[in-house]
Chains A and B, each alone.
Chain A
Amino acid sequence: MRTLNQNILFNATGVKQVEEGKKEKLIALLVILPGILSVFIFFYIFSGWNFIISLTDWEGFIPSYNIIGLKNYIQLFQDPLFWTSLKNNILLIVLFVPGVMIIGLCMAVLLDQRVRAEGIFRTIYLLPFSLSFVVTATLWSWMYSPRVGTINFILGKLGLTSLRKGWITDPNMVMYCIIIALIWQFAGYSCIIFLAGIRSIPHSQTAAAMVDGASNFTIYWRIILPQIKASFITAFIIFMCFALKAFDFIWVLNRGGPGYSAHILGVTMYKETFSFDKFAYGATYSTIILLLSLLIVVPFLFRIYKEK
């Protein structure tokens, strides 16, 4: 943008010549500026604002508050609910992220075996991902329903009556129920990411390995998987970020209950803010969620774009 001063230039004969190329570029920038600016305000200024709110004692819908420094954070770290939420969130991450990646990878490898009607399988696998969390939460509360639910019905049919449980009404089971449902919803998406990675490897490489006598297993283990590192990273980032901000499914399922047994950071943040009107304290939770997300994403993004 150093061009502002150079905008009016002089050619060899000294006649004033407006340098149109740069003027045009400037106009183009002005056109995209409102879009970019409002995006930046929405995403970055708001994040900063949220952090400032977390330094106040704002309670209730009407904004009247004093800056109290890091007191909210100190309170947060002494709050057993925060630790419960964090613990549940970590459980979600530790089981959901690898779970959805492994199942997606399996689906992708299976689909890569010159399957007939591959497109139909792929479409079906992706269908759960088309649904709103509101819908899937409704579907799964029906699946998990203790009295008339599908899961208990099937277990009964299989003669496994002893395994029948209260599922989402059982505080010890509810997180696992949620994790299974979310893996169900995201597996197709994960499959698509890995399949795209596998398909980006030139066919000549697998052909060469086959000619060399490599078994199917060897081809995947030694040739394909090492080359789809990018897909692993992409999937990891996407699912990590999702697990950190997850809210909709759990909230609709049972408001994070029974009790606090399915409270994760996103749920507790919403509850503190909008159920108890503790805006500043809620903002403290969001700041923690943001920091954790950035910790995962920023190194990854900079690495990708540095390579370009």
Chain B
Amino acid sequence: MASLTIKGLTKKYDETIAVENFNLEVKDKEFLVLVGPSGCGKTTVLNSIAGLININEGEIWFGEELVDAPQKKLFKIPQKRGVAMVFQDYAIYPHMTVYSNMAFPLEVRKVAPEEIKERVIKAARLLGIDHLLQRKPKALSGGQKQRIALGRAIVRNPKIFLMDEPLANLDAKLRVQARVELKKLQEELGVTTIFVTHDQIEAMTMGDRIALMNNGHLEQIGPPLELYQKPKNLFVADFIGSPSINMFQGNLVKKDKSIGIDLKFFFYPLTTKLSKSITDKEISKVVVGIRPENVLIVQNKKDGLFQANILRIEPVGKEYNIHLEVEGKPFISIESSADNWRQGDRVWITFAKDYIYIFDQESGDIIS
């Protein structure tokens, strides 16, 4: 058990920079999810922690122990780092039985045979695979293989768990179940865990905290709801949440005495407090972001509303995704009932006031 600290990690492949000046602190026993689109460098970070690749700059600490620091010519080989890793393809050796697969890390560490047996059986019981121990992995299902891979990781009592998209190869239903089990297991064992995924739902549901990466650097780190509710920039707002946040480009304009945003189809007035913070920054072009659940469809025309067409009504179980369009710009609203509308209707729309995000169009950073 240990905390993990990464300072200024940079990794280059030839000329391309995979990860640049990456900083991260993971608390002891924390479940941290590293999430981001493919190619964002999350797997590079994970492999650096494991010692599977050599980093160019930076330091990696496990608790008080420095394990990787190229500037100090220090590199601890993966064999000595005491981490356990679960791979996307599980990396289960097909020629060994389930038991031997799980015993392998202990055998190469020369643990006494009795102890190996004890620990493997204990881990197998915990994962509910003790009846499979004598089987060869070939005939086992994806879910079972995934548990074996987990089992091989936990028999070692590692300092840190590293998981590289371990649920990506499971089918949808199994994945939901595995998510819950894995999270429960981690809480029981209390092992610091770094979990890499490209799936934001997995990130939201599993992580104590989420670190969202893009283009080789960290965009934002925090508890799931913080990322959802207080995104630092456009990328975070767009990546987290499903269906994605609606975005409208607009210009800041003065109208009468107050400042507002001209969205072409609609003038959105700003509160005095907001307008003050904006005018300080000398920004004219902005992006307005609003989550689908905060786009409200109303029956009657009132002030501060605008009209949009219903393109499609999509039932997704208990709610409906209503696809709308205003002046050629599509957006989505989530409603709990769609009885009053039909495709092609023209309806009145409002935004829930406190849930609107305004971003600087140029930098992408949030303004409010």
Contacts and interface: CB of A to CB of B under 8 A. Distances in A.
Interface of A: 6, 9-12, 17, 19-21
Interface residues of B, number: 11
Interface string B62-98: 0000100100111111111000000000000000000
21 contacts: A6-B73, A9-B73, A9-B75, A10-B72, A10-B73, A10-B74, A11-B66, A11-B74, A11-B76, A12-B66, A12-B69, A12-B72, A12-B74, A17-B74, A20-B77, A20-B79, A20-B80, A21-B75, A21-B77, A21-B78, A21-B79
Contacts of A10: 72-74
Contacts of A11: 66, 72, 74, 76
A31 to B, nearest CB: 19
Interface secondary structure of B, over-half rule: mixed
Contacts of B72: 10-12
Contacts of B79: 20-21
Contacts of A21: 75, 77-79
A6 to B, nearest CB: 6
Interface of B: 66, 69, 72-80
A9 B77 CA distance: 12
Contacts of B77: 19-21
Nearest to A24: B77
Given A11-B76, A20-B77, 9 more contacts: A9-B74, A10-B72, A10-B73, A11-B72, A11-B74, A12-B74, A19-B77, A20-B79, A21-B78
Contacts of A19: 75, 77
Contacts of A17: 74
The 10 A-B residue pairs whose C-beta atoms are closest, nearest first, are: A21-B77, A12-B66, A9-B73, A11-B74, A20-B77, A6-B73, A9-B74, A12-B74, A12-B72, A19-B75
A22 to B, nearest CB: 8
Nearest to B59: A12
A204 B75 CA distance: 48
A281 to B, nearest CB: 49
A276 B239 CA distance: 80
Contacts of A6: 73
Contacts of A20: 77, 79-80
A247 to B, nearest CB: 44
Contacts of B73: 6, 9-10
Contacts of B76: 11
Contacts of B80: 20
Nearest to A23: B77
A19 B54 CA distance: 13
Nearest to B51: A21
A20 B72 CA distance: 17
Nearest to B74: A11
B10 to A, nearest CB: 19
B60 to A, nearest CB: 12
Nearest to A13: B66
Nearest to B77: A21
Most buried by A among B74, B78, B80: B74
Contacts of A12: 66, 69, 72, 74
A11 B78 CA distance: 15
A19 B76 CA distance: 7
Nearest to B75: A19
A19 B72 CA distance: 13
Contacts of B74: 9-12, 17
A294 to B, nearest CB: 29
